[in-house]
Structure 1
Amino acid sequence: MSEKREIMNVVVKPLESDDEKKGKAYVHWKSWHEAYEKLVSAAYLDKLTLEKCEEWAFQWPENTYVALDDGKVVGFVCCFGHGDDEPDVGEVNAIYVLSEYYGTGVAQQLMDTALEKLKDYSRKELWVLKDNPRSIAFYKKYGFHEDGTEKYLKSFEDTEIRMIKE
């Protein structure tokens, strides 16, 4: 059994440098393979390569905040407003933390950052896999609740549910 890390100096900041983008990509890739192995199709995970995650990190760096532990990216969150389509809605689009940082407060720091960035939106929302009780419980701690909206994602071979906070 691994020891929990003592987190003293984790800093959450906007994603900026190429090294941070590469670190974000690694967290994205690694966390999906750690957390979703039994939740989504193996075919999807096989296609989710580190190279693909790096491509995304460099293509869409905006609205992304990374958690750095001694300069190493250990988690990230992406959040943004829906724009003219739904000007009062902000979304937490992704939040991922390396499994060795579970229970250390890193995810909380990232969620706190996202909610601060989205504070001017009257409604916040996110999508989570229906069969992911750990994440659902985490979001409920922040006041999110299921609103009954679901979508089946063929690529994942699983269903996502929308959770909102008003």
Structure 2
Amino acid sequence: MTPAIRETGEIRPATAADLDGVVSVFLGCWRESYPAVLPPEVVAAMTEERATALWRSAPGELRVATADSGEILGVTRWATDGQIHSLYVAPSAQGLGLGAALLRAATEAMRSAGARDAHLWAFRANEPALAFYRRQGWHEDGTTRVQAEFGEPEVRLTRALAAREAR
């Protein structure tokens, strides 16, 4: 069943025709949210060309959240092994429940594929994102990393997808 988005639109698998809309959502988030999280030169380095190349070759499953008009308002990308790679909602559509619906769609698909746990990475300084994930039942597991291309600390968040078997 496809979750409804505020009684209009839908969450559906992304197609090649969605690339421009996905890039628009991604860059909107990058340019409006990440200046508070990443150094200015890292934010500026994410050009439209770079973002398009990144999303064109992005592995994994992609779902988009659309408005009734078909406009793409959000995107998530994940792997069936339990890794959420991306979750972005257009700044103008944040707070409508799209992020939660996209995250739920991804975790349900991973659970159906047999994943027992899910994990994702968020910048440590991105407190709004961390608070969102905590509200969705995710927790930091103490693992951190710094990717060379971004140079900023990230924390890993996890969530159980399947009930643990009794021993």
- TM-score past 0.5 threshold: yes
**Unpaired stretches in structure 2, ≥5 consecutive residues:** 161-167
**CA contact under 8 A between 1:15 and 1:62: conserved in structure 2?**
no
Deviations 1:135-163 (A, max 9, x none): 11111122211111111234323100001
Aligned residues: 153
**Unpaired stretches in structure 1, ≥5 consecutive residues:** 1-5, 83-89
- Residue in structure 1 matched with residue 118 of structure 2 by the alignment: 124
**CA contact under 8 A between 2:124 and 2:155: conserved in structure 1?**
yes
Deviations 1:90-125 (A, max 9, x none): 111110001111111111111111111111211100
- Residue in structure 2 matched with residue 149 of structure 1 by the alignment: 143
Percent same amino acid among aligned pairs?
24
Moved over 6 A (4+): none
- Residue in structure 2 matched with residue 103 of structure 1 by the alignment: 95
- Residue in structure 1 matched with residue 164 of structure 2 by the alignment: none
- Residue in structure 2 matched with residue 76 of structure 1 by the alignment: 75
What TM-score do the two structures reach when normalised by structure 1? 0.85
Q: Which letter maps to 1:117?
A: A
**CA contact under 8 A between 1:150 and 1:159: conserved in structure 2?**
yes
- Residue in structure 2 matched with residue 51 of structure 1 by the alignment: 49
Q: Which letter maps to 2:77?
A: C
Q: Distance in 1 between matches of 2:124 and 2:59?
A: 27
**CA contact under 8 A between 1:10 and 1:106: conserved in structure 2?**
no
The one of 146, 150, 158 aligned to 2:152: 158
RMSD: 1.7
**Does the alignment pair 1:112 with 2:112?**
no
**CA contact under 8 A between 2:63 and 2:76: conserved in structure 1?**
yes
